[in-house]
Amino acid sequence: MIRSIAMSGLLIATFFGTRGLATEWSLEQNGDHVRVNIDGKLFTEYIALSARKPILWPIIGPTGKPMTRAYPMRPAGEHEASDHLHHRSLWFTHGIINGIDFWSEREAKATDRVPMVQHRDFRTIQTKKDCAIITTRNDWLAPTGQRVLEDERTMTFRADDLARWIDFAITLKATDGNVTFGDTKEGTFGVRVAGTMKVDAKMGGKIVNSCGQTDEDAWGQPAEWVDYSGPVDGERVGIAIMSHPSNFRHPCRWHVRTYGLFTANPFGEADFPKSPNIQQGKVTIDQGKTLPLKYRVLFHRGDATEGHVADYYNDFLK
């Protein structure tokens, strides 16, 4: 066993030692939007308010093609379903917070008062030799306009010649009283994959988690990471979301669907398959306290094996 572990470490070190890293990062701010460029080309854009929350869209993968669904930011294209308005590329919200639904999104008039996660300000917009960093503060507002909680999130963008990834660290802060995240499958941190990637498109899409469970069998199960791969413009690519072991209730549950929704949810329990090995459900952050969470979102070529997802997860742990 000791030899096996040592050999595994050697293979990981060799794999990461041979990667070429991106040579130039740049950030372009236009009001509350920030464009993230890698070697002069778009990687993604931070959009401070898309309907009711901040998102990242589009997200361009290592093949130069967008890897998340474009609807509803623009009309649905070929193989895209015009459903679930709240599935906006990449986002963080939850379905029950102090009884308020911050997850769902329905058609509303401009005068309607709705819950929203409102961008407050930028704390950091900077580039370094090997990455770009955006840190923001956001207020979670009830339909009355009263703040329920706030968050501070840091998005660190990196890449090599095999993949691109976003390290997403968020601290939820109970600034205005106790905050209870309710027990629901509708949450929390996730993406909606490109239409051609989804399993239901029957074009080769596949879900697999760190436990080896696939497609429908991966839904609601605890896992360290989940990978969703499929074709985009004739090339197989994948998106993996990884939960850091420092997160509470690690490994968390995954609300990952064959129609393309893909989220990490540490608060859901009742809606998911029963598991004797994990306890989740609602949690309360007391007034003045915080709850930190860390994830990595990897955009890679090939399936989970070809994309070295397990290796990138071990790298994330360091």
Q: What is the pLDDT of residues 42-63, one digit of tens each?
A: 999 999 999 999 999 999 999 9
Is the dihedral angle over the CA atoms 281, 285, 291, 295 positive or is it negative? positive
Overall fold of domain 2-317:
Beta-galactosidase; Chain A, domain 5 (2.70.98)
Distance in angstroms (rounded) separating the CA atoms of residues 198 and 228: 8
Confidence of residue 274 (pLDDT cuts 50, 70, 90): confident
* 29 membership: H or E segment, kind and range: strand 25-30
Crossing angle of the two packed helices 309-317 and 2-17, in degrees rounded to 10: 100
CA 280, 226, 36, 79 dihedral sign is negative
> Mean per-residue pLDDT for 229-241?
98
The model's pLDDT over 146-189, given as tens digits with 9 standing for 90+, comes to 999 999 999 999 999 999 999 999 999 999 999 999 999 999 99
Q: What integer pLDDT is reported at residue 14 of this predicted model?
A: 54
Distance in angstroms between the alpha carbons of the first and the last residue of the chain: 21
pLDDT band at 2 (very low <50, low <70, confident <90, very high): very low
Beta-bridge partners for 230: 237
For residues 135-153, give the mean pLDDT: 98
Question: pLDDT-based confidence at 18, cuts 50/70/90?
Answer: low
Q: What is the pLDDT of residue 280?
A: 84
More confident residue, 3 or 53: 53
Instruction: Give 155's strand partners.
Output: 134, 168
Q: Is residue 224 within 8 Å of residue 295, measured between CB atoms?
A: no
90-100 tens-digit pLDDT: 999 999 999 99
Q: Which amino acid, 243?
A: S
Place of tokens 């308020």: 100
The answer to whether residues 206 and 229 touch, using CB atoms and an 8 Å cutoff, is yes
Cβ–Cβ < 8 Å for 29, 48: no
pTM: 0.93
Q: Do 15 and 160 meet the contact criterion of CB atoms below 8 Å apart? A: no
Backbone angles phi, psi at 263, to 5 degrees: -135, 150
Domain boundaries, the chain: 2-317
- DSSP alpha helix (H) spans, the chain: 2-17, 309-317
pLDDT for 17:
60
**For 187-200, how does the pLDDT look when each residue is reduced to its tens digit (9 = 90+)?**
999 999 999 999 99
